[in-house]
Structures are given as C-alpha cells and as structure tokens.
Amino acid sequence: MNIKVLSSAIIAGLILSASPAALFAAGGGSGTNTYKGEGKIGAVLMNPFDIAPLTAVIKNGGQKLTNVKVVVEGKKGGGLPISYDVSDNKILLYGGIPVWGMYPDYENKINVSYKLYGADGNTQNIQESYIIYAPPINLYGSGTKQKRVLPEAKVVIPADKSIKKDLYLMNHLSSTLPNAAQVTWNNPIGGAIEWDYESYAWIIDTNGDIRWYLDTSKLRDPNDLRKKGNMMGFDQTKDGALMWGMSQAYMKYDLMGRQIFHRMLPKSYIDFSHHLEETSKGTYLLRVASSDYKRKDNKNVRTVRDVIVELDKDGNVLDEWRLMEILDPYRDANMLAMDQGAVCLNIDASQAGQTKTKEELEDANAPFGDVAGVGAGRNWAHVNSVNYDAGDDSIIISSRHQSAVVKIGRDKKVKWIIASPEGWSGELAKKVLTPVDSKGKKIDCGESGSKCPGYLNDKGGFDWSWTQHTAYVIPEKSKKGLLHVSVFDNGDSRGMEQPAIVSMKYSRAVEYVVDEKKMTVQQVWEFGKERGFEWFSPITSVVEYMPKTDSMMIYSATAGLGDVQAFAKGEVELVPFLHEFKYGTKQSLLEIKFVDSNTIGYRALKVDLQSAFK
C-alpha cells in the first residue's frame, strides 16, 4: 500500500473524529480560529503568568480597545472596591484587560469600561460586568509551625479616609526544616547560603482582606542552589513593578506576574538578603557578601552580610562598598550585649537571654559563616538595609550587629554614625554624632555614652537605636545639612546590656534629624515604647515615610517573639502590628494585627497600584 495514501487516510480519519471545538482550536475547518468569548470581547484567562493566582486577563478577542477602566467590586458587607485605569500600551502588553485585586475563593464582580473599535471601523463605548471566580490560596505550609497558610489580618483601628484605598504588601518567612540547610558553602568556607526559609508575599487592603499573592513555589526550590533563599527586600520600582532578591538571584516582575528579569548575582558576590532598592538614578542597590575575600591573615573566606553593590538596569556592576574595609569588623561592644536567642532568623531557645563572651567573639579558631563574631567571614555587621541619599550621592546603612546607622560617601569614607560611642576608635570615633535636645543642648548619656535618658521604659527623651532595621532618609522633610532619618529600633542590647527580665524589652519607630555640619543628632518622634513588651520585635520590621499621604508606616513584624523560650514551647504566638500615623504625630490612621499563623514577619511595603498599569 502506498504509505502516503495510508498516512493521508489516517489523518483524515483523525480530523473527522475530532469535535468541532477541537477542530477550530487546531486551526482547521474554515481556516480561522474564531471563538465565542465572554462578554463583548474575549475569553477570561486566569493567572496568565503562572505566579499571581488572583489575577486574570479578559482577552481582547482580536479587537482594539482603548480608554480602559476597571473596578473590582468589594465583597458584600463592606468590602473595598479596587479601581484603576489601564493605559493603551498595557492593553497591548497583556492582550486584553488586566484584572487585579480579586478575592480568593470568591465570585468576584468585575466592572469594565472601554472604547471598542469594530472591524467595520465604527467605535462603541462599552460598559459591562464579568463574574470571575478566583481559587483559594494554595501555598507552602510548614505543618507543625503554622495554624493557617497566611495570617488573619484583624483591623484594630479602621483606616482613615485619607488612606482608605491604600494597599500593603506583606512579606513573611517560614521554616522549611529539614531542607533549610541542605547546602552550605565550603570552598572557601563560610557564607550564609544555609539560611533558607519559605517565603510569603501577599497584598492586603485596609480591611485586611487578601487581594493578591505570589505563588513562590514557581520560583523557589530548596534543592537548587540558584533557587534557594528567602525572598526579601521587596521594592516597587518607578514603573510600578516589584523587585526583590533571593539568595543568589534578584528579580523583577510586574503585578500581573510577568517576568521582566530574573538574574543571578554578579560572580563577585553571594548571599543576597534583606534589602534591594531602586535609586533615584535608576540604579539598584543590593546588600550582598563577597564570594571570595582575602583577609589580612591570608585566609580566603566568603563574607557575611557586609558588602553593598550598585548595579545598572542591565545588571552591570557600577560600584561596591566593602564594609569590612570601611568600618571596624572587630568592634564587638554591641555583639557582647546581644541576646543570642534571636539573632535575626537564627532563633535558638536554648540561647535565650544569653550573651557571648569577648573570648568567644574574638576566638581566631571560631568557625566562619553566619555566626555572630568579629572579622570578615563572620556575621560582624549584619547589614539589613541600604538607602540612597541623592542629596550628596551617599548611602545610609543599618548595621544590626553594630547597632549603628552609618552614612558613607561615594569615596567610601564614613560621614557620620548614629550609635553609642562605645567601642569606636580612631577616625570612626570622630564620626559618632553627638545627641542634642530641641534647643541644641548636648544630652548626657552617661559615662559610657550608651545609657541616654530615653533608654528606660519610664523615661522619655533621646535614645540610640539598638539592633535596628531600616534606616531611611526622608528627603521630603530634609533640608540642606539637616537630614531626617527614620529607623525601626528593635531594642535588643539597649543600653549595651540585657535587662533583668525579658519583659522590660521594647521596640520603637523613631525619627532622627542629623545636622551634618554640627555633627549632632536630635530625636524628633517615636512610637512603640508605650506599647511595651507586647509590641517588642527582636528582629526584622520597618518604618518608612509615605510622601503621598504625609504619614509614617510601621510594621512591628515579630511582636510576640520576645520571649523565645515561651515561643518555642508554643506558649505565645507571633502577633505582628501594622500601623500608619499622620506625620509627626501619634494620630492613628490605621492599625491592623496579624494572628493565627506564626510565620515570621519580615517587612511591609505600601504598593501604588495606579503606577502598575500606566
């Protein structure tokens, strides 16, 4: 038999047996792929980029659309609507109308309006509605460590009308034991690759309802060196997209989940964590470590959380700050006072309330790696934020293990230090700022300089920040030579000591004004001390000024973790608090607490939805 004829007969039989729908989908029949869409345009495509399950695209059905507006209606009973305009370019990018902000496990009503250009050349102004079901949240659960996949957000103080429509990205982490430390650096020794937790990123409205989340399972794999690590340092870039890092990679995706880039770190660096940001120049600052550093004793090590690198938009290295050469990696004053039970995410109930001795910190034979200790190759700095100051092309870092906020110039010279003067020497000692009151009078912080009037619960006034997170310049409030800086003062090692009882600890959001000419620092605002131990976050957290609403946003991300031993026994739970205050006051615009999860809170980020669809 002729093989060509047989093949043709088989193919013909397959075509005849196919359903009409399948035939058209394959492009057969009439030679078109015409289909009946939803509404007046096209089909609804859920989760179009596979990592943002609460998004969809209403396809344009091959037709031209302009002037698009979208409203995702709020849930019945007081839910908040989400509305946004979509630029014509974004319609072309997504092939239709992007739908963002749906509730999970819910039939969402989506109202859209647009100008439709018909095949006959006529245009119509269309208004229509779609009912789109979004599925339940499906994310990693650690089993014994969690009660629910994401914490429940309970509104304590309802949102003021000035921020009612605002959205907040929450970033939490959860143990993946026993897989968390399956990979360690060993050539050369050291580094922090073993620090690997499951990551959660989701967005809530001011009712606390979840309106978006990231399916991190599509991006993470604890067994793959390139896909390990904590997703941290979320930053919204000028074009409305999200950027963050994860151990050996950093990435940028838009709010619909479309990948813009996903890159490995440059080869000179390892172990991204904590912070990434886009500068006003369009460059990127990342907190990383050195992949191979030659110490003065000729040992090669991988360093830990002590290098800042600046990259351009294409991933080229523009500059670096090697902090082990700029600061003093052997200053141990603050590390001697730190509670070893909660050193960042290294939670160890057996070490709660204990401190390291000078001999332990300075032991030349101590292991290299992610351990509190002095010298390059150990966690002597633990930098958890880096912020660009466009005023003089400098960076401001927060070094947790030095309890220091430090400004460093492009020339790699230290400009000033907000920290207790204990333990600084040489030129660095001259850079420690002098605390002053509102009249410019020097504040007495005791013989050591560590015990300022505000360091105890029952006293007000100035205090340094201790094991702090996030030191951010506030350019909108700063003047030439007078720099406003917001800091989350976690509060461990306060006064260079551990208190008599753990419940005496507290955290603060604080704002300082630095007079860069007089080399003084004044405390102008604080919140948190009055909330006491309940609000104490020994690790993580953020405070950041919001220029659009002239407000201060605060996330006390690990409140409840203060008593590490009680937490390890399951006797207490993590209850993080999200706040917003009118700038310069304690007038609350919002308070939300998060319950029933026990995932470890990292940071919160206010998200501008409108910029994402311009």
Residues with Cβ within 8 Å of residue 366, at least 6 apart in sequence: 360, 373, 378
d(CA 191, CA 181): 12
Nearest to 196 by CA among 383, 345, 372: 345
- Which two tokens mark 584? 């310069």
Nearest to 550 by CA among 602, 587, 593: 587
- Dihedral of the CA atoms 535, 538, 541, 545 (nearest 10)? 70
Q: Are 419 and 404 in contact (CB under 8 A)?
A: yes
Active site residue 469: yes
The catalytically annotated residue of 274, 382, 401, 469 is 469
Full 3-state SS string of 430-473: HCECEEECCCCCECCCCCCCCCCCCCCCCCCCCCCCCCCEEEEE
Backbone angles phi, psi at 217, to 5 degrees: -60, -25
- The DSSP line for 341-373 is TEETTEE-GGGTT----HHHHH-TTSPPSSSS-
Question: 438 vs 48, 313, 473, 517, CA distance in Å?
Answer: 55, 42, 20, 16
Q: Are 170 and 604 in contact (CB under 8 A)?
A: yes
Q: How many CB atoms lie within 10 A of CB 279?
A: 16
- Angle CA(519)–CA(465)–CA(274) in degrees, nearest 5? 110
Q: How many CB atoms lie within 10 A of CB 72?
A: 24
d(CA 337, CA 593): 30
- Which two tokens mark 76? 């019945």
Q: How many CB atoms lie within 10 A of CB 73?
A: 18
d(CA 412, CA 394): 9
Nearest to 492 by CA among 561, 567, 566, 418: 561
Nearest to 171 by CA among 472, 541, 574, 546: 541
Query: Residue for token digits 């523009």?
Result: 318
CA 149 to chain centre: 18
Q: Which residue numbers are catalytic?
A: 469
